[in-house]
Amino acid sequence: MSLFAESDALHARVRAFARGAATDDFEALALDIARFQERSSPGFARLVASRGAELDQLSAVPGVPAQTFRLTRVAVHPPELDVARFETSGTTGDPGVHAFRTLETYEALALAHGARALLGFRAGPRVVVALAPAPGEAPSSSLGFMLGLFQREWDGRSLADGDFTREMAARWLFGPDGFDLAGLEHAAHVAERRGEPFVVLATAFALVGLLDALAGRPLRAPPETCVMVTGGFKGRSREVEKTELRREVARAFGVPETHVVAEYGMTELTSQLYEGTLPGAALRGEPDVLLEPRWLRVEPVDPVTLAPVPSGEVGIARIVDLGNIDSALVVQTEDLVRRRGAGIELLGRRPGATARGCSLAVEAWLG
């Protein structure tokens, strides 16, 4: 079987697993992906060899540090087959790049878990907007691509009569000149007039900008409003502690705090995690607890040994993402996390120099 045929078969298996329509076991499917990556990626093969790993159990699969995506190409296929290259949004140094040979699996997984977390209240149509700049025809941001996907698949209608291009552009309500506050108020009015839920997709720094633009004035929004919040501030706005931000955003939209739902994602991943607080949503959980989809697992590990830490203790996040078929099955981050109930609690980024375990793994990948 060729590399591409094997990749396509693994993509199909992962999508079937995500739908619950397959007999695959998570670990068995993960190991098949890991072995495929060892055969197809020289960098990953070097990393496996440096650990003496047999790839006979999931715990033996070495994690690829997230910073590797900044230093070299992490992909099993050549660049000419890329259909998308999503770049990290760090403020210093060269961006990391996650290359995709197909976006079919990305779209299926993002829509499946996003719907479980954000499509609460009741079934039926809804109005969806984003407090983000509009992506270009070839988006370089995985977040921008995902927000556009949600808008298209969950709504996709004009917000009013008239110019279709203008109305679609009005769904992207944040740009170099700041907020389109009138556009946000118009979209909220359309949702209220149609009697539909209102979904606002936003970054944390954009929401701080919105709060500043409102200057304490409440925004008239339907009671069935959901606000998705993701990402940090990266120096682009004043920083607001997450509990305060949730409270102030809920107050601004006139909704309970349970309607403000956190999302966690990384450019280096295909999948996302969400809180499960929205009334009527399929995903149910506590505030501040991020819940994995069935095709992703997060494990806190020691930053030096990369061994799992005892239950309830803080470690850096080792993430197994079955969607990362053509890049890195296991991504080792430096985000501090701990298990809490059915999910994980995100505690920020590990301060200081690169964790020793991650540094050694990068060296092994680069050879």
The structural domains of the chain, with segments of one domain joined by +, span 3-75+296-366, 119-267
pLDDT at 168: 53
**Crossing angle for the helix pair 26-40 and 42-51, to the nearest 10 degrees:** 110
Alpha-carbon distances of 66 from 29, 117, 199, 233, 334, rounded to whole Å: 22, 26, 31, 19, 8
What would the mean pLDDT of 106-117 be, rounded to a whole number? Answer: 98
pLDDT in tens, 317-354: 999 999 999 999 999 999 999 999 999 999 988 877 67
Question: Of 280, 350, 278, which Cα lies nearest the Cα of 314?
Answer: 350
Best CA proximity match to 319, nearest among 342, 303, 341, 335: 335
Read off the pLDDT of each residue in 13-26 and give the average, rounded to a whole number.
92
Degrees (nearest 5) of the Cα angle 351, 273, 153?
135
Cα distance between residue 328 and residue 135, in whole Å:
25
pTM, entire model: 0.93
135 pLDDT tier (thresholds 50, 70, 90): confident
pLDDT in tens, 196-254: 999 999 999 899 989 988 988 999 999 999 999 998 645 455 678 889 999 999 999 99
What CATH number is given for 119-267 in this structure?
3.40.50
**Per-residue pLDDT at 167 exceeds 60:** no
Could you tell me if 336 and 290 are in contact, meaning their C-beta atoms sit under 8 angstroms apart? no
Tokens of 204: 């944390």
